[in-house]
């Protein structure tokens, strides 16, 4: 053991922390010792040999294995020599990915036999590989390049002809170049086995293998973008990235947090010359693991968008012009506007900005004047969730923990669209029953083929209660489609059944569905309840909390996850919870009332497009009553167009700030690039007004003022990084090129690189390179740049399930990389939900119909909707209605209908869908937000149909066949 | 004493040898065709730009004086949208030529590039591009690579079989 540590220390593999810490008894039990090339090592049990070698930092090439997908042994690249015992000199070749670890095993990586085998193998793999590297997007970021070099295959001997393939059009996200395929099967294993989608497949045999769709067309999976990283070579490449291409070594990167949905996935943002070029997954054990959804991967265009605001602008009513201001002038004007008596100034906070910015606004105006940029019912739900996490023993679990559960109940949330990565985790969770079966037979979890063979169709129970069909229904034990009233009845049954279990009373009569759900939840070791705010249904969310809470008392390991709706909305539930009576919300509906009272003089709107939430005419009227409107935003939204003063704000790529995910994980997002001079972070615009000049002080103010966000104080040290550590970390790779030419056309003299005083990163290649960072102990943040010698490709960054051996030291402990979980499970707070059961307003008039939102991950997230590639994938806006309900309303298929409530109105084409709950109608989320939960319905005259149908028939995508 | 005399003799001897100094502007020295001077971008035998904007010259450059931005033609052909060489930084090391996988970037024996204004030493694509193939007459990258472009479909490149018919039942 001691020797092993010494060895690994010399090799620079294991971090210093682990050698200082005494091994826990549990830890040594889990270890197994083995000898590799006459060095002894100890590694964790249960892995395969390849994984063990990689986690030790040894160089062993592989293609088909993937830490998240296990081994199938198809590429034969990871061969090593295994010896019987210490006398054995001949040994035998084994595929390390298919070899379980055994105590005292002796293997060799460097012996001639296995080296020769690996070299010959890759030579065979490369016989058909085209001479494409210079014109391949994967070049310089290619697993095949890395592995070829590592296997020392440098000279092509095969003189035969290369097989070729025709390509397919696969949609706006991916390029297809089948010639480059090496037949490792990773793409189909990811697409079909991991994501459960069906439209990518493998055809043919031998060297005729073809990985693609049955015919050209858009890939249906929400995770198709990951294929660019899953493919070890350039068969699938990132299409939007190719349109503004830059080699990997030229990208300036920093660790950031995805701003779209509420899961808080970790990403790496890459920029060059002031524009974001691509987003890649940043491995986080507990959150996103190895994969992101398409929205996360491609939703960055808003940063480069031509509607970005570049100047402070002032409406000049006298001359009917818009004047550009300098930042100083703008700040003076802002101070002038804020001089009016406090009660006449109102602020609107945002769900897509950092916590710090909302807090600055809160400080400026006080809680009474601070409105949340979400509708009232959303705000109430967030309040309810926050108080549930605070008062009860419930706390949301991480996605990794979701994957460990063995029964799930999803209540009224379409997670495939509102939290896609969670749906992917749930899919992995459903495999647990099969894995358990395999484990009984002694098959390890990573033996992918064997496990799937044993499991067949065995799935862990997943029950879905929803108002329309779910894309998860293929793994669901029960997919129950009910309208909200019937759902409430079902949930009450479940809740009371669980209560009888808790009090060990005699069983009550209940519906068979409810019984099946309760039985499965009770039989499970780690049951899971998932709910969300999507439907704005207070009753159901409170029932879900009650169910989870009761279950928690029955089973200690019950998991709970409540999906919220936007990137950073959960913390808004804490901002106003203190001073207001419970459930008196401060949402946009209340704002509208306040504006209509006519007393408001100054309205400051922070990064919220009010027109997304409220009806245009109502809002126009309300805004016209306000004397001065100030908008702080990144983009010229409709709301910004109404403003008297616009202050341009930085995007998530240009500023430091915290996100709170719906899991309650507080994570810091680092700035990737420098903002232009006129753009400031929103809190910086306000900093003179609130008297807080620095980030550090603002963070400390938040931790004092908002007790639930106390943990944010951890991040106050951000600016002190420079004092604490003598080292700075480079955002650019050591290979970064064209420094003296890139701006030479404008100005041949090179400028000094911009200095970042806020954080530990430099905007240049000066500083510690990412791949050497583990050697520099005082720095515990993630490496910023993504380039490293040898194991350079993106996927190699996550080999062995750890984000490079280089940051093992930091990955376990540092809040900078892991975030801080603010809802710690509170075992003392045993029971009694701390809030009143609320009644959802349920009008009984027969002409009203319950609306349900039909979410879509490409259409719903405001910032992502600036990405052209994503919006082209968004579906047509339709209302879905059950045929029976439709006949009740005397509707025909494809008829135009008008939905109106006292909040807004909308005309939509209606589509019959028997997977829609009866007496409900589903409308796109954006309309649902504006209309509210109930609306009146009138069919429109039929002649209107032809106009709109011709309008809508213009397909956004051309299905051209590519060569 | 003796060494001083020897020095004098050595120096005097030089009076009778031919001068090595050349009267430069009037009399030009011979520079071999492989001499590393002004850099240019060449075209392939078909007259298309050879540069595919792969950025390898840029990353090989020890003084980082080359900047290339990639764009793609409609047929999938990669091309440089802009190609900038800052000759005020260039050290004529020729690494870019060595790195170039398409023989696009070539160094020539022209060294007379002096300018009064440093800004004039920034050469862009239109200043670098010539109309011929330079030192390598026959090489055409796209005839060898697997990517299809106008005039060369899949399977028509050097050493390639025709595309596989995926729907065929034959093995």
pLDDT tens string A68-119 = 999 999 999 999 999 999 899 999 999 999 999 999 999 999 999 999 999 9
Assign domain A2-110 to a CATH class.
alpha beta
Q: Please list the residue range(s) of chain A that carry CATH number 3.40.228.10.
A: 382-563
User: If pLDDT is split at 50, 70 and 90, which confidence band does A951 have?
Assistant: very low
Yes or no: say if A382 and A563 are a contact pair by the CB < 8 Å rule: no
Which part of chain A is CATH 3.10.20.740? 2-110
Going by pLDDT thresholds of 50, 70 and 90, the confidence category of residue A842 is low
Q: Which fold has domain A313-376+574-714?
A: Rossmann fold (3.40.50)
Of B64, B102, B146, the CB nearest to A737: B64
Q: Which residue has the higher pLDDT, A586 or A799?
A: A586
Q: Which of B146, B148, B161 to mutate to test the interface with A (most CBs of A within 10 A)?
A: B146
Q: Which two tokens stand for residue A571?
A: 């913390």
The answer to whether the CB of A803 falls within 8 A of the CB of A283 is yes
Q: What is the mean pLDDT of residues A202-231?
A: 93
Quote the tokens at residue A882: 């059950």
Q: How many domains does chain B have?
A: 1
- Smallest Cα distance from B32 to chain A, Å: 28
Which CATH number belongs to the domain containing residue B136 in this structure? 3.30.70.3270
Q: Residues of B with CB below 8 A from A740's CB?
A: 63-65, 86, 89
CB-based contact A514:A508 (threshold 8 Å) = no
Burial class (CB in 10 A: 0-12, 13-18, 19+), A504: exposed
For the record, the structure tokens of B166 come out as 């995926």
For residue A146, what are its two tokens? 């890395």
Whether A92 and chain B come into contact, CB under 8 Å, resolves to no
Helix (H, G, I), strand (E, B) or coil at A186: helix
CA distance B149 to A167: 13
- A134 and B88 within 8 Å at the Cβ level: the answer is no
Per-residue DSSP letters for A797-811?
A: GGGGGSSTGGGHHHH
Q: What's the domain range around B40? A: 31-143
Q: Is the pLDDT of residue B126 over 90?
A: yes
CATH number of this structure's domain A848-952? 2.40.40.20
pLDDT number for residue A864: 93
- A475-489, A753-767, B53-67: which has the minimum mean pLDDT? A753-767
Terminal Cα distance for chain A, rounded: 57
Residue B98 lies in a domain: yes
Question: Which residue from A134, A741, A963 is facing B154, i.e. has the nearest CB?
Answer: A963
Which chain A positions have a beta carbon within 8 Å of B168's beta carbon? 208
- A249 and B CB contact within 8 Å: yes
Q: For residue B43, is it within any domain?
A: yes
Name A571's Cβ contacts closer than 8 Å, sequence gap at least 6.
A355, A358, A660, A709
A739 in contact with chain B, both atoms CB, cutoff 8 A: yes
Residue A652 has pLDDT above 50, yes or no: yes
The yes-or-no verdict on residue A721 having pLDDT over 90 is no
- The confidence score (pLDDT) of residue B41 equals 96
Report the distance separating Cα A825 and Cα A139, nearest Å. 47
Q: What is the CA radius of gyration of chain A?
A: 29
For chain B, what is the radius of gyration of the CA atoms? Answer: 24
pLDDT digits (tens, 9 = 90+) for A257-312: 999 999 999 999 999 999 999 999 988 888 998 999 999 999 999 999 999 999 99
Q: How confident is the model at residue A122 (pLDDT cuts 50, 70, 90)?
A: very high
The CATH 2.40.40.20 domain(s) of chain A lie at 848-952
Q: Give contacts of A203 with chain B, Cβ < 8 Å.
A: 166
CATH topology of domain A382-563: Dimethylsulfoxide Reductase; domain 2 (3.40.228)
CB burial class (10 A; 0-12, 13-18, 19+) of residue A456? Answer: exposed
The verdict on a CB contact (< 8 Å) between B54 and A139 is yes
- Closest partner residue to B163 (CB to CB) among A130, A160, A164 is A164
Mean pLDDT (chain A, rounded): 86
- Whether B158 is covered by a domain: the verdict is no
B54 labelled ligand-binding: yes
Q: What pLDDT is stored for residue A949 in this prediction?
A: 41
B93 annotated to a ligand binding site: yes
Helix, strand, or coil (residue B111): coil
Q: Which residue has the higher pLDDT, A459 or A811?
A: A459
Distance from CA of A579 to the nearest CA of B (A): 55
Confidence of residue A9 (pLDDT cuts 50, 70, 90): very low
């Amino acid at each position: 053991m001691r020797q092993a540590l010494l060895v690994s220390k010399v090799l620079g593999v294991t971090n210093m922390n682990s050698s200082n810490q005494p091994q826990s008894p549990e830890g040594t039990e889990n270890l197994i010792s083995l000898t590799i090339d006459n060095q002894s090592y100890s590694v964790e049990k249960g892995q395969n040999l390849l994984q063990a070698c990689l986690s030790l930092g040894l160089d062993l090439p592989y293609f088909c294995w993937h830490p998240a997908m296990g081994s199938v042994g198809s590429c034969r690249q990871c061969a090593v020599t295994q010896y019987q015992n210490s006398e054995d000199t001949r040994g035998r070749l084994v595929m390390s990915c298919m070899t379980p670890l055994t105590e005292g095993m002796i293997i060799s990586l460097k012996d001639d036999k296995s080296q020769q085998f690996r070299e010959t193998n890759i030579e065979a793999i490369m016989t058909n590989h085209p001479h494409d590297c210079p014109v391949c997007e994967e070049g310089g970021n290619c697993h095949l390049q890395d592995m070829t070099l590592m296997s020392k295959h440098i000279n092509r001997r095969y003189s035969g002809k290369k097989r070729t393939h025709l390509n397919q059009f696969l949609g706006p996200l991916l390029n297809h170049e089948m010639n480059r395929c090496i037949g490792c099967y990773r793409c189909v294993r990811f697409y079909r086995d991991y994501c459960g989608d069906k439209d990518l497949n493998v055809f043919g045999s031998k060297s005729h293998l073809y990985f693609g769709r049955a015919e050209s067309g858009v890939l249906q999976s929400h995770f198709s973008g990951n294929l660019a990283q899953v493919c070890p070579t350039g068969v699938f490449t990132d299409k939007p990235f190719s349109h503004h291409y830059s080699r990997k070594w030229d990208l300036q990167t920093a660790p950031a947090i995805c701003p779209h949905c509420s899961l808080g996935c970790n990403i790496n943002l890459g920029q060059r010359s002031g524009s974001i070029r691509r987003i890649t997954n940043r491995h986080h054990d507990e959150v996103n693991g190895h994969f992101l959804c398409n929205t996360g991967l491609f939703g960055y265009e808003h940063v480069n968008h031509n509607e970005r605001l570049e100047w402070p602008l002032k409406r000049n009513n006298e001359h009917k012009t818009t004047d550009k201001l300098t930042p100083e002038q703008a700040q003076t004007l802002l101070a002038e506007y804020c001089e009016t008596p406090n009660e006449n100034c109102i602020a609107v906070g945002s769900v897509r900005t950092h916590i710090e910015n909302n807090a600055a606004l809160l400080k400026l105006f006080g809680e009474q004047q601070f409105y949340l940029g979400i509708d009232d019912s959303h705000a109430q739900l967030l309040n309810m969730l926050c108080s549930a996490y605070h008062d009860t023993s419930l706390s949301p679990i991480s996605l990794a923990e979701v994957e460990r559960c063995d029964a799930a109940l999803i209540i009224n949330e379409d997670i495939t669209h509102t939290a896609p990565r969670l749906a992917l985790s749930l899919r992995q969770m459903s495999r647990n029953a099969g894995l358990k079966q395999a484990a009984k037979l002694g098959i390890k979890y990573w033996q992918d083929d064997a496990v799937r063979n044993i499991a067949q169709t065995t799935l862990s129970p997943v029950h879905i209660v929803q108002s329309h069909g779910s894309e998860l229904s293929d793994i669901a034990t029960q997919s129950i489609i009910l309208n909200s009233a019937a759902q409430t009845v079902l949930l009450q049954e479940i809740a009371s059944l669980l209560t009888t279990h808790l009090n060990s009373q005699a069983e009550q009569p209940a519906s068979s569905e409810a019984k099946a759900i309760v039985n499965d939840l009770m039989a499970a070791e780690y049951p899971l309840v998932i709910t969300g705010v999507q439907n704005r249904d207070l009753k159901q969310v409170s029932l879900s909390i009650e169910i989870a809470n009761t279950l928690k008392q029955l089973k200690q390991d019950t998991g709970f996850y409540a999906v919220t709706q936007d990137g950073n909305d959960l913390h808004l539930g804490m901002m106003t919870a203190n001073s207001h009576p419970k459930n008196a919300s401060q949402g946009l509906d209340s704002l509208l009332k306040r504006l209509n009272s006519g007393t408001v003089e100054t309205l400051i709107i922070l990064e919220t497009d009010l027109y997304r939430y409220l009806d245009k005419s109502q809002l126009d009227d309300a805004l016209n009553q306000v004397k001065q409107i100030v908008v702080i935003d990144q983009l010229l939204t409709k709301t910004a167009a109404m403003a008297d003063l616009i202050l341009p704000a930085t995007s998530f790529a240009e500023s430091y700030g915290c996100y709170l995910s719906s899991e309650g994980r507080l994570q810091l997002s680092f700035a990737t690039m420098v903002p232009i001079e006129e753009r400031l972070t929103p809190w910086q615009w306000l900093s003179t007004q609130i008297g807080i000049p620095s980030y550090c002080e603002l963070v400390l103010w938040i931790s004092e003022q908002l007790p639930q966000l106390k943990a944010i104080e951890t991040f106050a040290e951000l600016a002190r990084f420079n004092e604490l550590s003598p080292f700075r970390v480079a955002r650019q790779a050591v290979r970064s090129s064209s420094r003296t030419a890139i701006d030479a056309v404008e100005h041949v003299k090179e400028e000094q690189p911009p200095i970042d005083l806020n954080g530990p990163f430099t905007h240049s290649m000066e500083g510690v390179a990412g791949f050497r960072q583990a050697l520099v102990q005082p720095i515990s943040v993630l490496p910023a740049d993504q380039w490293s010698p040898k194991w350079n490709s993106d996927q190699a960054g996550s080999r062995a399930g750890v984000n490079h051996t280089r940051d093992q030291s930091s990955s376990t402990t540092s809040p900078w990389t892991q975030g801080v979980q603010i809802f710690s499970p509170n075992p003392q707070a045993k029971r009694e939900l701390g809030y009143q059961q609320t009644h959802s307003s349920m009008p009984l008039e027969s002409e009203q119909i319950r609306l349900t939102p039909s979410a879509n991950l490409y259409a719903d997230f405001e910032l992502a909707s600036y990405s052209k590639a994503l919006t082209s994938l968004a579906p047509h806006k339709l209302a879905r209605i059950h045929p029976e309900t439709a006949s009740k309303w005397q509707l025909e298929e494809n008829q135009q209908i008008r939905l109106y409530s006292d909040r807004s109105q909308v005309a939509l084409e209606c589509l019959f869908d028997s997977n829609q709950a009866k007496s409900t109608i589903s409308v796109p989320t954006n309309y649902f937000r504006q209309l509210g939960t109930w609306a009146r319905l009138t069919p429109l005259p039929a002649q209107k149909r032809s106009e709109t149908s011709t309008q809508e028939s213009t397909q956004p995508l051309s299905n051209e066949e590519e060569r | 004493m003796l060494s001083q005399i020897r020095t004098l003799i050595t120096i005097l001897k030089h009076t009778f040898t031919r001068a090595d100094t050349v009267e430069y502007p009037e009399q030009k020295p011979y520079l071999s065709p492989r001499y590393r001077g002004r850099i240019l971008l060449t075209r392939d035998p078909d007259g298309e730009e050879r540069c595919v904007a792969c950025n390898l010259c840029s990353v090989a450059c020890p003084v980082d004086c080359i900047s290339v931005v990639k764009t793609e033609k409609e047929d999938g052909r990669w091309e440089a949208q802009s190609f900038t060489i800052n000759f005020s930084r260039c050290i004529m090391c020729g690494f870019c030529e060595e790195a170039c996988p398409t023989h696009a970037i070539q160094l020539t024996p022209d060294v007379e590039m002096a300018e009064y204004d440093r800004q004039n030493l920034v050469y862009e694509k239109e200043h670098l591009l010539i109309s011929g193939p330079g030192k390598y007459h026959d090489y055409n990258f796209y005839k060898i690579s697997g990517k299809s472009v106008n005039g060369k479909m899949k399977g028509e490149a050097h050493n390639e079989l025709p595309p596989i018919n995926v729907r065929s039942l034959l093995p």
